[in-house]
């Protein structure tokens, strides 16, 4: 049984504003608004809208927050972050996804940066208020904590393939959100 999600008006507006069909492969356009994850390439997926809504709530964003999305995939979550006034940067290790997300974000007028590469190895010029993982990790990596601005946190699905929880990690503590999820593994 799915839990009922009460969305903040700005999150609902963002989800209704971003055309998800632009971010999915052509063969899945008819399913773009079904509340399910959809396949992309190389085992990657675009997360289900209800899960992204939960993540947006758990990020506790304010306009102007700097956000790094590790595993940014097709760029859909970056578009949502941009709609909410965040300064969004994505890192994607799959070249085809990084290229395509840059194209779609530019076409739609979103000013989110997409970097092709390994998020653990990229050297960023500034710290981030939020680092969010769009793929599951076994534990919060130290390199992600090291990217945080004061009072910032990492939000990540943590756990094995079938049992994950969204975890919020600060420099000095970890919080369990109680939100269960299932993401593909972080590469």
Query: What would the 3-class secondary structure string for the chain be?
Result: CCCCCCCCHHHHHHHHHCCHHHCCCHHHHHHCCCCCCEECCCCCEECCHHHHHHHHHHHCCCCCCEEEEECCCCCHHHHHHHHCCCEEEEEECCHHHHHHHHHHHHHHCCCCEEEECCCCCCCCCCCEEEEEECCEECCCCHHHHCCEEEEEEEEEEEECCCCEEEEEECCCCEEEEEEEECCCECC
Count Cβ atoms below 10 Å from residue 101 Cβ, excluding itself.
Answer: 27
Distance (Å, rounded) from C-alpha 117 to C-alpha 98? 9
Q: What are residue 78's phi and psi, to 5 degrees?
A: -60, -40
In the annotation, is 47 catalytic?
A: yes
Distance (Å, rounded) from C-alpha 165 to C-alpha 159? 7
Catalytic residue among 17, 31, 42, 47: 47
Residues labelled as active-site residues: 47
């Amino acid at each position: 049984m799915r839990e009922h999600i009460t969305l903040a008006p700005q999150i609902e507006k963002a989800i209704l504003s971003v055309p998800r069909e632009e971010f999915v492969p052509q063969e899945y356009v008819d399913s773009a608004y079904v509340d399910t994850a959809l396949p992309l390439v190389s085992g990657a997926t675009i997360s289900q809208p209800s899960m992204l809504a939960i993540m947006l709530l758990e990020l506790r964003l304010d306009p102007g927050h700097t956000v790094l999305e590790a595993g940014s995939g097709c760029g859909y979550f970056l578009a949502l972050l941009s709609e909410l006034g965040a300064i969004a940067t994505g890192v994607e290790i799959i070249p085809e996804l990084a290229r395509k997300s840059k194209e779609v974000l530019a076409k739609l007028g979103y000013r989110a940066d997409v970097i092709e590469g390994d998020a653990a190895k990229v050297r960023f010029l500034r710290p981030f208020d939020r680092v969010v993982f769009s793929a599951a990790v076994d534990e919060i990596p130290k390199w992600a904590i090291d990217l945080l601005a004061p009072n910032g946190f990492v939000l990540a699905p943590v756990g094995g393939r079938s049992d994950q929880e969204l975890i919020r990690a600060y420099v000095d503590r970890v919080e369990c959100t109680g939100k269960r999820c299932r993401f593909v593994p972080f590469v």
